């Protein structure tokens, strides 16, 4: 699909404590890292229901942004969206301050991964499917699956710079093209994706879940096929920006065991220990344990 009435532009703005690459490649996220091209990272995002090609790159403490989008979308709208996706309003220093007091381990972790933030979903349905696909799967494999779903089932948009981007299909499209989904390398998760999509299409609105309190949203997500505690918390953290979520995978299990000697009820442990910073604590613990020799 070609886009008419399009405008291109660029701007830059100052960012707080932030590391774009670290944030985008942190591993456990709602979406694959953005496409790296000509020194920028780019993605197709819908803003005000209009397709928008966003390219970003970081130069020290500012972010350079190029965009191609409908004339109705303002640079302010784009900036707001970028701030949301990289969680730039979150007060990282306060989080650091809270957990580095009298804690040499956390001090080192925080120092090493300074500027790491949540990489939030721009599409909640994509985030749910991504999270289901990530279960019992390697990072490189689920990343490829998601990119394949976008290319095989998603809609293609061609921008003025002749850039071609695919957008993650909506639930209806996925249900209409179930057969194609089989060739996206999701394996046995195929039936979970189809069943969950059916529920999201017919019975459960994502917006409704978004309005719920954390606990209720968690229990509701658990009802979806292929969604267990880890996936539910990933969806809540990366998709719905619920900072109290604490997704526990084998890496977090190892980290908690390693640092605190705790080996059961790890989610509850993390949530009571870190409270409203549980999600961020998880982000840093994950980096710590994955890179630990």
Partner DNA sequence: CAGGTC
Partner DNA sequence: TCTGG
- Tell me the CA distances in angstroms from 179 to 17, 134, 182, 188, one per residue in order: 45, 20, 6, 14
Does residue 230 carry a catalytic annotation? yes
* Nearer to DNA among residue 244 and residue 249 (C-beta): 249
* Nearer to DNA among residue 192 and residue 277 (C-beta): 192
How many binding residues for DNA (CB under 7 A)?
26
- Binding residues among 199-238 for DNA as defined by CB under 7 A: 222, 224-232
* Nearer to DNA among residue 6 and residue 248 (C-beta): 248
In whole angstroms, give the CA distance from residue 136 to residue 115. Answer: 28
* Nearer to DNA among residue 92 and residue 285 (C-beta): 285
Contact of 153 with 166, CB cutoff 8 Å: no
Considering only CA atoms, which of 227, 160, 140, 239 is closest in space to residue 189? 227
Q: Which helix (H) or strand (E) holds 129?
A: helix 124-134
Q: How far is the CB of 127 from DNA (least distance, A)?
A: 14
Q: Which stretch binds DNA (CB under 7 A): 74-82, 92-100, 114-122, 249-257?
A: 249-257
Q: Is the dihedral of CA 138, 55, 129, 155 positive or negative?
A: negative
Antiparallel, parallel or unpaired: β 35-37 and 40-47: antiparallel
> Which position among 37, 198, 230, 292 bears the catalytic label?
230
Sketch the per residue contact string, 74 through 113, with DNA: x for CB under 7 A, - otherwise.
Answer: ----------------------------------------
- Binding residues among 129-168 for DNA as defined by CB under 7 A: 134-141, 144
Q: Which of 187, 272, 276, 291 binds DNA (CB under 7 A)?
A: 187
In whole angstroms, give the CA distance from residue 168 to residue 174. Answer: 9
In whole angstroms, give the CA distance from residue 76 to residue 68. Answer: 14
* Nearer to DNA among residue 123 and residue 131 (C-beta): 131
Q: How far is the CB of 231 from DNA (least distance, A)?
A: 3
Q: In degrees to the nearest 10, what's the CA dihedral of 179, 184, 186, 190?
A: -10
Tokens 């299409």 found at = 201
- Binding residues among 167-186 for DNA as defined by CB under 7 A: 185
Q: How far is the CB of 254 from DNA (least distance, A)?
A: 9
CB atoms within 10 A of CB 72: 12
Chain positions contacting DNA, by CB under 7 A: 134-141, 144, 185, 187-188, 192, 222, 224-232, 249-251
Q: Catalytic positions, please?
A: 230
């Amino acid at each position: 699909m070609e886009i008419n009435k399009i405008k291109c532009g660029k701007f830059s703005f100052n960012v707080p404590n932030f590391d774009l690459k670290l944030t985008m490649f942190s591993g456990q996220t709602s979406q694959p890292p953005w496409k790296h091209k000509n020194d920028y990272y780019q993605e197709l995002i819908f803003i005000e229901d209009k397709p928008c090609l966003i390219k970003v790159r970081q130069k020290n403490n500012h972010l350079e942004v190029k965009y191609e989008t409908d004339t109705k979308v303002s640079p302010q709208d784009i900036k707001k969206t970028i701030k949301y996706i990289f969680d730039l309003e979150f007060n990282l220093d306060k989080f650091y301050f809270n957990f580095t007091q009298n804690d040499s381990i956390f001090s080192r972790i925080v120092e090493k991964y300074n500027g790491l933030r949540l990489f939030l979903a721009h599409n909640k349905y994509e985030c749910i499917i991504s999270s289901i696909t990530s279960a019992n799967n390697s990072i490189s494999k689920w990343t490829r699956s998601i990119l394949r779903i976008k290319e095989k089932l998603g809609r293609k948009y061609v921008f003025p710079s002749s850039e071609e981007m695919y957008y993650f299909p909506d639930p209806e499209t996925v249900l209409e093209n179930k057969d194609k989904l089989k060739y996206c390398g999701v394996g046995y998760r195929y039936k979970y994706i189809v069943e969950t999509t059916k529920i999201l299409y017919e019975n459960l609105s994502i917006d409704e879940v978004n309005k719920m309190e954390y606990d209720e949203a968690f229990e509701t997500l658990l009802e979806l096929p292929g969604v267990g505690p880890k996936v539910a918390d990933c969806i809540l953290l990366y998709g719905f920006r619920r900072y109290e979520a604490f997704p526990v995978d084998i890496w977090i299990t190892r980290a908690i065991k390693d640092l605190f000697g705790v080996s059961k009820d790890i989610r509850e442990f993390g949530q009571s220990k870190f409270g409203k910073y549980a999600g961020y604590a998880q982000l840093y613990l994950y980096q710590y344990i994955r890179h630990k020799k």
